[in-house]
């Protein structure tokens, strides 16, 4: 793949004839994450994680990205982000379609609130531990567990503590 073939995704891009890119959620060392809306299922929103050209050109990084999708899909745990699809954009860029998470990273929460009380810490650690136990039972090691890779999602009912999702 050449850098010229790996153009940036932008607002308005249609992915796989199904997902319309509407806004950027974040950028990191491996790629960009975009919010996208499903064109045939009104109201369905997803996250589209697209690899950077420099990363996609590295065969090992590309294989790791694909393996990330396969592993997360196989694990299917409520405290692990859901992966819906792995594919390549028309320009060749590899991408994942993930569940769209509302909330904030544990890193942002800690910076915003400072210390968390013991009960909150225990609640978060039990969920992260359950996700890791599920992964370890299937021979998967996370290798990059940090507050930036734990996302705090409000309870679906709006009542009760947040749900921790390992990214």
Question: One of 58, 107, 144, 162 is an active-site residue; which one?
Answer: 144
User: CA–CA separation, 12 vs 23, rounded Å?
Assistant: 9
Q: Is 117 a catalytic site residue?
A: no
Strand order in the sheet with 14-15: 14-15, 19-27, 31-38, 45-51, 94-99, 83-88
Q: H/E element holding 36?
A: strand 31-38
As a whole number of angstroms, the distance between CA 152 and CA 163 comes to: 6
Q: Give the catalytic positions in this structure.
A: 144
């Amino acid at each position: 793949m050449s850098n010229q073939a790996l153009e940036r995704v932008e607002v308005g891009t249609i992915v796989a004839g199904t997902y319309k890119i509407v806004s950027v959620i974040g950028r990191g060392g491996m790629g960009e994450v975009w919010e996208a809306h499903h064109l045939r299922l009104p109201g369905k929103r997803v996250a589209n994680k697209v690899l950077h050209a420099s990363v996609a050109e590295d065969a090992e990084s590309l294989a790791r990205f694909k393996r990330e999708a396969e592993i997360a899909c196989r694990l299917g745990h409520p405290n692990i982000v859901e992966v819906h699809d792995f594919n390549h954009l028309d320009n060749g860029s590899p991408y994942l379609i993930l569940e769209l998470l509302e909330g904030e990273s544990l890193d942002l929460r800690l910076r915003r609130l400072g210390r968390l009380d013991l009960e909150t810490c225990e609640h978060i650690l039990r969920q992260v531990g359950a996700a890791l136990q599920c992964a370890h039972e299937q021979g998967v090691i996370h290798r990059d567990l940090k507050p930036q890779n734990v996302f705090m999602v409000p309870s679906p009912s709006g009542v009760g503590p947040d749900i921790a999702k390992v990214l």
